[in-house]
Amino acid sequence: MINRRHALAALAAFSLALVGWGVSAQEEKAYSPAALDAAIKAGKPVLIDVTATWCPTCKAQAPILLELAQQPKFKDLVVFNIDFDSQKDALRSLKVQHQSTLIVVKGGAEVGRSVGDTNRASIEALLSRAL
């Protein structure tokens, strides 16, 4: 029988593998203001995912985002990952103060934002606002 420590270690390793959650169901791009503008001009729904490798909340969000991204309704979603520790200019321009921030953009306007949310249903509702 697997003990709790081994189960938690396996879960942590799995979560670490998902941070950045590069998935095939949608486009994932490096963030830049120009790339964001291009996605908006193309009429794409956008998710900006602010993460940090050391963030337990980000790690909890990763499998939820991975699962949701596999849904057909999110097939056109363009995901921009921003590293909380190294992309400070992007954080300032988007007025982000915390890792584990999810920002949803539709038609050039921010239509939703959450910080620290790990509830699948509310994250799905947030992503749906971009559609």
More confident residue, 10 or 66: 66
6 Cβ contact list (under 8 Å, min separation 6):
none
Catalytic position from the list 52, 58, 65, 90: 58
99, burial (CB in 10 Å: exposed 0-12, middle 13-18, buried 19+): buried
CB atoms within 10 A of CB 23: 18
If pLDDT is split at 50, 70 and 90, which confidence band does 122 have?
Answer: very high
From 14-18, 62-66, 93-97, the region with the lowest mean pLDDT: 14-18
Q: What is the mean pLDDT of residues 77-85?
A: 95
Q: Are strands 78-83 and 101-106 parallel, antiparallel or unpaired?
A: unpaired
Q: What is the pLDDT of residue 30?
A: 82
Q: Which CATH architecture has domain 4-128?
A: 3-Layer(aba) Sandwich (3.40)
Catalytic position from the list 55, 77, 102, 103: 55
Query: Residues 4-41: pLDDT tens digits?
Result: 444 434 444 444 434 444 444 455 678 999 999 999 99
Query: Does the annotation count 49 as an active-site position?
Result: no
Q: What is the pLDDT of residue 6?
A: 42
CB atoms within 10 A of CB 4: 7
Q: What is the mean pLDDT of residues 46-61?
A: 97
Query: Does the annotation count 55 as an active-site position?
Result: yes
Output the CA torsion 23→12→31→70 (10° steps): 20
More confident residue, 19 or 54: 54
Report domain extents, the chain.
Answer: 4-128
pLDDT above 90: percentage of residues in the chain: 76
